Amino acid sequence: MARRVAQSSVQWSALAERVPPAQKTNFHLFKAKSDGYLRRVMSNPAELPKIDWSFYKNSVPVAGMVDNFQKQYEALKIPFPSDTQTSQIEAQASKLKVEIAEFIKNSNNAITKHEQELAILGAMLSYSDMTMEEYYEAHPENALSPTDPQSFWPHREEDNINHKREEAEEPAH
């Protein structure tokens, strides 16, 4: 037989903390619908009403009909489905708790790393105040190196700074 649920197992206050402000109206509507359903279920009696078989035996003129119905009614057993999913759900929940804890740990590590990077960027000069050498010291992977050969537009060999021009010998007159 099914057990009677006395109260909701949902922790509404914990759930309300996680609802974004834009969804608060929908959350309150959902909670009201859930509470209404629980009130309707609780308004019904826990047990089915008892049938007064003696009243029907005195009222029905066909002999044996009420006895036959009573025997069939009492033999009727509607099985309540057995719970086969709770153990699987609890296993999934415990696995998810581990994954959530790992995600929170990784997220906190990333937040710490990004806060350190922000502190470094906050301590730097602004880019508009930096010289090319200071920019190279701060970001050597992105800056032009003052010691490497430079290439300028249109990037032809003869236009580069370090290009050695071969002077063509002019014939003597």
Write down the residue that tokens 């010998």 correspond to: 169
Task: Render pLDDT for 115-128 as a digit per residue (tens, 0 to 9).
Answer: 999 998 888 888 88
Averaged pLDDT score across all residues of the chain: 85
Task: Render pLDDT for 39-77 as a digit per residue (tens, 0 to 9).
Answer: 898 888 888 888 999 999 999 898 889 999 999 999 988
Question: How much of the chain exceeds pLDDT 70, in percent?
Answer: 82
Question: Are 154 and 163 within 8 A, CB to CB?
Answer: no
Neighbours of 32 (CB within 10 A): 10
Of the candidates 56, 45, 50, the one whose C-alpha atom is nearest the C-alpha of residue 74 is 50
